[in-house]
């Protein structure tokens, strides 16, 4: 499905978008990738949503990416005898392993690994940071604290520990079961929550066994500190600003977002900016001006994708939310300032033949009358490198593999077409010309640029660049063999 913008849109499915007609409409209005949130819904519900997405894909002949988002370990307090208590600034409060119901002075925190990692002076955050306490003394089974910011604490509220690296694996038992299920189901991306170190990503990759690409969610300060290492072992990144904004001062999040997006672009790995992008549209058909500016900022930064969470999963206006995000993206990308910003931030290292080929393709396309860059890709690497260049002309990614086309649905500017296998470069040029015309990117009198690797069907061998006419009769005339 031809888009009029390059940034991709990820839409989360849920009760508000849980039928074929809605999913089809969301895709037609702009959703390129659908997110299945493993924190909500049974395996049967996830499987049914997966089935409906694939049916929409088949009916519209349009590759669609599916992202399964794992829940990750959840750190929560226990229950209170009265259901809730009010913590007052300056008061003493204890967290411990005693399973008894909580009171105004203590509550169980059934996570011994937290106590093992704590030290005096550390901070604990409760209920998305609304309550903040400082650790005065701690041991293997307790933490005595002083309330710094008070508020209401109630049953099973979440706890964040921003100051320390917790000895917790990113994958809980539930995550492992969900991971195997969604990989067998056939998702294209798996989003890994609670990433603190590159080893978390490597563990997930071993379990996935190549069945899906691995996307690391950056939601903890430790992940920001070790981002370069995490990026190296990840296939993509999600800047999960919600938890980042809880564990870090909120004013730190925008520069972190900008820095992480730029590093992902340099590495040619897709990056999603997520959380609260159009939050007010859960209940309103119109976003706030600040939300529109927030989406626009992520696009100006060069993010590959922007994401809707509750807006499309549980909100009252899922279609309007996707439509709004699509309209904002289209308008931003038509702004000459957008092009200036994107091109000014282009600083990719060109250390291989493939890097040189895609850089030359962009430069030729932008200085001559080329209508599209058509890249044949087996693993998706050539298309990702081309997208890193952020060319002004469309990118047409041709691949014989459905899995590659679906994964590339997350990558900036890639318009994917599934083709048959090839043995000769001439047929690659012919197929590219046909695809460019059929997809509406060029006419017979136009020219396209084709990149490929010979021998075909070998990942990482991009070594040919050719300017070609979109009329295959001219291709045969100039290359009869």
Cβ atoms of 35 and 69 within 8 Å: the answer is: yes
pLDDT tens digits for 44-95? 999 999 999 999 999 999 999 999 999 999 899 999 999 999 999 999 999 9
State whether 44 and 187 are in the same domain: yes
State whether 369 and 444 are in the same domain: yes
What's the distance, Cα to Cα, between the start and end of the chain in Å? 33
Which of the listed residues 101, 130, 160 is the one where a domain comes to its end?
Answer: 160
Residue 174, domain member (yes or no) = yes
pLDDT tens digits for 269-295? 999 999 999 999 999 999 999 999 999
Catalytic residue among 108, 275, 414, 451: 275
Mean pLDDT of 323-348: 94
> In this model, does residue 16 exceed pLDDT 70?
yes
Which of the listed residues 114, 139, 160 is the one where a domain comes to its end?
Answer: 160
Exposed/middle/buried for residue 56 (C-beta within 10 Å: 0-12, 13-18, 19+): buried
State whether 58 and 187 are in the same domain: yes
Q: Inter-axis angle of helices 318-333 and 289-300, to 10 degrees?
A: 50
- The domain that holds 38 is classified in CATH as 3.20.20.60
Length of the chain: 481
pLDDT of residue 474: 76
Mean pLDDT of 309-337: 97
Answer yes or no: 275 catalytic. Answer: yes
Catalytic residue among 5, 8, 94, 217: 217
pLDDT of residue 352: 87
Query: What's the number of domains the chain is made of?
Result: 3
Nearest residue to 72 (alpha-carbon basis) of 166, 176, 155: 176
- The domain that holds 425 is classified in CATH as 3.40.1380.20
Which of the listed residues 127, 160, 193 is the one where a domain comes to its end?
Answer: 160
Catalytic residue among 5, 24, 29, 35: 35
State whether 68 and 197 are in the same domain: yes
State whether 45 and 113 are in the same domain: no
> In this model, does residue 475 exceed pLDDT 80?
no
pLDDT of residue 479: 65
Answer yes or no: 289 catalytic. Answer: no
State whether 321 and 266 are in the same domain: yes
pLDDT of residue 421: 75
Answer yes or no: 217 catalytic. Answer: yes
State whether 108 and 203 are in the same domain: no
pLDDT of residue 481: 52
- Give the model's confidence band at 387: pLDDT under 50 very low, under 70 low, under 90 confident, else very high: very high
pLDDT of residue 459: 67
Residue 207, domain member (yes or no) = yes
Mean pLDDT of 5-9: 97
Answer yes or no: 367 catalytic. Answer: no
Burial code of 370-393, b = ≥16 C-beta within 10 A, e = fewer? bbbbbbbbbebbbbbbbbbbbbeb
Residue 141, domain member (yes or no) = yes
- Give the model's confidence band at 460: pLDDT under 50 very low, under 70 low, under 90 confident, else very high: low
State whether 269 and 330 are in the same domain: yes
What is the 3-class SS of the chain, one letter each residue?
A: CCCCCCCEEEEEECHHHCCHHHHHHHHHHCCCEEEEECCCCCHHHHHHHHHHHHHHHHHHCCCCEEEEECCCCCCECCCECCCEEEECCCCEEEEECCCCCECCCEEECCCHHHHHHCCCCCEEEECCCCEEEEEEEEECCEEEEEEEECEEEECCCEEECCCCCCCCCCCCHHHHHHHHHHHHHCCCEEEECCCCCHHHHHHHHHHHCCCCEEEEEECCHHHHHCHHHHHHHCCEEEEEHHHHHHHCCHHHHHHHHHHHHHHHHHHCCCEEEECCCCHHHHCCCCCCHHHHHHHHHHHHCCCCEEEECHHHHCCCCHHHHHHHHHHHHHHHHCCHHHHHHHHHCCCCCCCCHHHHHHHHHHHHHHHCCEEEEEEECCCCHHHHHHHHCCCCCCEEEEECCHHHHHHHCCCCCEEEEECCCCCCHHHHHHHHHHHHHHCCCCCCCCEEEEEEECCCCCCCCEEEEEEEECCHHHHHHHCCC
Residue 77, domain member (yes or no) = no
Mean pLDDT of 373-389: 93
- Give the model's confidence band at 473: pLDDT under 50 very low, under 70 low, under 90 confident, else very high: confident
State whether 370 and 458 are in the same domain: yes
Which residue range(s) make up the domain with 304? 8-72+169-335
Q: Among 75-79, 231-235, 378-382, name the one with the lowest average pLDDT.
A: 378-382
State whether 110 and 220 are in the same domain: no
pLDDT of residue 98: 96
**Structure-model confidence comparison of residues 473 and 360, the more confident one:** 360
pLDDT of residue 130: 93
> In this model, does residue 297 exceed pLDDT 70?
yes
What mean pLDDT, rounded, does the chain reach?
94
Joined tokens for residue 122:
């550390």
State whether 124 and 141 are in the same domain: yes
State whether 258 and 375 are in the same domain: no
Residue 341, domain member (yes or no) = no
pLDDT of residue 471: 85
Catalytic residue among 3, 54, 74, 76: 76
- The domain that holds 113 is classified in CATH as 2.40.33.10
Joined tokens for residue 392:
């002004």
Q: Output the pTM of the full model.
A: 0.94
> In this model, does residue 461 exceed pLDDT 80?
no
């Amino acid at each position: 499905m031809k888009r009029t913008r390059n940034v991709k849109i990820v839409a989360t499915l849920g009760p508000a978008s849980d039928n074929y007609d809605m999913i089809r409409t969301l895709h037609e209005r702009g959703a390129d990738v659908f997110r299945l949130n493993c924190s909500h819904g049974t395996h049967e519900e996830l499987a049914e949503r997966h089935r409906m997405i694939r049916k929409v894909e088949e009916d519209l002949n349009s590759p669609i990416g599916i992202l399964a988002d794992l829940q990750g370990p959840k750190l929560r307090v226990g229950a209170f005898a009265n259901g809730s208590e009010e913590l007052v600034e300056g008061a003493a409060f204890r967290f411990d392993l005693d399973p008894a119901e909580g009171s105004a002075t203590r509550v169980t925190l059934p996570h011994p690994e937290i106590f093992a990692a704590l030290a005096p002076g550390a901070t604990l955050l409760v209920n998305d940071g609304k309550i903040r306490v400082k650790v005065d003394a701690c041991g293997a089974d307790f933490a005595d604290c002083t309330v710094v910011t008070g508020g209401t604490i109630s049953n099973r509220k979440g706890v964040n520990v921003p100051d320390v690296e917790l000895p917790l694996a990113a994958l809980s038992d539930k995550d492992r079961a969900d991971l195997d299920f969604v990989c067998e189901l056939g998702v294209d991306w798996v989003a890994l929550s609670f990433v603190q170190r590159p080893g978390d990503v490597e563990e997930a990759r071993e379990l996935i066994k190549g069945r899906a690409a691995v996307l690391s969610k950056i939601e903890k300060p430790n992940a920001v500190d070790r981002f370069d290492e995490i990026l190296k072992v990840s296939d993509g990144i999600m800047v999960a600003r919600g938890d980042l904004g809880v564990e870090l001062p909120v004013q730190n999040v925008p520069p972190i977002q900008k820095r992480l997006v730029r590093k992902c672009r340099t590495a040619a790995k897709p990056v999603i900016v997520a959380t609260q992008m159009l939050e007010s549209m859960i209940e309103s058909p119109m976003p706030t001006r600040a939300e529109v500016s927030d989406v626009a900022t992520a696009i100006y930064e060069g993010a590959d994708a922007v994401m809707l969470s509750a807006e499309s999963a549980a909100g009252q206006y899922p279609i309007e939310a996707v439509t709004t995000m699509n309209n904002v993206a289209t308008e931003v990308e038509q702004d000459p300032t957008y092009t200036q910003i994107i091109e000014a931030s282009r600083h990719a290292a060109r250390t291989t033949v493939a890097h040189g080929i895609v850089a030359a393709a962009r430069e030729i396309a932008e200085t001559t009358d080329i209508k599209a860059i058509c890249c044949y890709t087996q693993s998706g690497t050539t298309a990702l490198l081309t997208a890193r260049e952020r060319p002004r002309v469309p990118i047409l990614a041709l691949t014989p593999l459905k899995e590659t086309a679906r994964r590339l649905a997350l990558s900036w500017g890639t318009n994917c077409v599934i083709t048959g296998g090839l043995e000769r470069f001439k047929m690659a040029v012919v197929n590219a010309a046909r695809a460019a015309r059929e997809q509406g990117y060029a006419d017979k009198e136009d020219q396209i640029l084709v990149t490929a690797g010979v021998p075909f069907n070998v990942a990482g061998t991009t070594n040919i660049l050719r300017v070609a006419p979109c009329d295959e009769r001219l291709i045969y005339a100039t290359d009869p063999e």
